[in-house]
Amino acid sequence: MNLPIIDDSNEPALSPDIIPVGCAVSVRVPASSANLGPGYDSLGLALAHYDDLTITRTESGLTFEVTGEGADKVPQDASHQVVKAMQTAWKAVGLLELPGLHIKAHNRIPHSRGMGSSASAIVAGVTAANGLLPEELRLDDDAVLQLCSGMEGHPDNVAPSLYGQLVVSYAEDGGWHCLPIAAHDRVLPVVAIPDYEVPTKIARGLIPETVPHREAAINSGRAALLTQAVSTYPDFLLPATSDLLHQPYRAVAMKPSAALVSALRGQGYAAVISGAGPTVMVLANGKEERASVLDAIERLTSTSDINEYESSPISWRVLPVDIDTEGVMLTHEE
């Protein structure tokens, strides 16, 4: 599908007055983990770890209340990712002037850790902007996917945040498409979040332009297996999460995370780098294995090659999380 385009020279711009002062929406948007090992830029999993926002139309201006992750770092002006996403959505329907807004956000998704914080902000902004519009002007689901994916550059994080579950994404005919797949109830993620950051731009820059055909073929098979392992056959999670396409090349930028993945996989656990890292995610097969994974991570993160980054000590926040099954949720406030 092509994005809706407004020809500013021929179409009159909509007035911000189409959104009444006092109109408000709340949005809950899940984190996501992309790639899951071999599914580079094509597979993503929604995680039940959420950012919550309430956005209110005001008379004028742009004001913020931000708490939680990154509260002291995120910009509190029109360059905020949520505001940029709202502007993109409104521009698509012809609303070119930013109305007065108050944005209250409580962030739980860590920034620059490979848990889809940028994609979640985009999804939250587009969803909120769409919900504030009169019903007859709202974008349909496909247009929302195209806008969010276009802003992020690909859909592997935005699609899980939009729809929940495991999502396979692909490009065709100039647009993005995706297929959500229900996960088996025995697949229980654990995330280990270190307190150091690796910018996605740096992580992407480490991947070579070409890879050997044999490695690409192996990855293709593992990615196909992974959809079956997550949805139906969790006993195959360990081989299904094996990757040769991107994680080995990125390891130099996140040595503690790469060492933790290697150690966990050596013990039989389906560990991967979450997205561009440096968070490590394990897909445990059942509650007993998840408990064992938590114990293993506690032991392993006490070793020197895993608790130091560039000669400085690091700490790990370890969270058992469920798979989100609903995707982004919008509520109109009274």
Detail the residues annotated as belonging to a binding site for ATP.
110-120
β-pair partners for 63? 102
Binding residues, as ranges, are 110-120
Partners of 62 in the beta sheet?
Answer: 101
The torsion of the CA quartet 48, 165, 42, 217, rounded to 10 degrees, works out to 110
SS3 content of the chain, % helix, strand, coil (to 5): 35, 30, 35
Report the distance separating Cα 191 and Cα 254, nearest Å.
16
DSSP code, position 18: G
55: left (phi over 0), alpha (psi -120 to 50) or beta: beta
In the numeric block, the tokens 């895993």 are attached to: 306
**Secondary structure string (H, E, C) spanning 154-178:** CCCCHHHHHHCCEEEEEEECCEEEE
Burial class of 197 by CB neighbour count within 10 A (0 to 12, 13 to 18, 19+): middle
The contacts of residue 265 (CB under 8 Å, 6+ apart) are: 238, 271
Q: ∠ at Cα 37 (32, 43), nearest 5°?
A: 50
* Cα(62)–Cα(20) distance, integer angstroms: 16
Phi and psi, residue 73, nearest 5°: -120, -30
- As beta bridge partners, residue 180 has 167
CB 277 within 8 A of CB 202: no
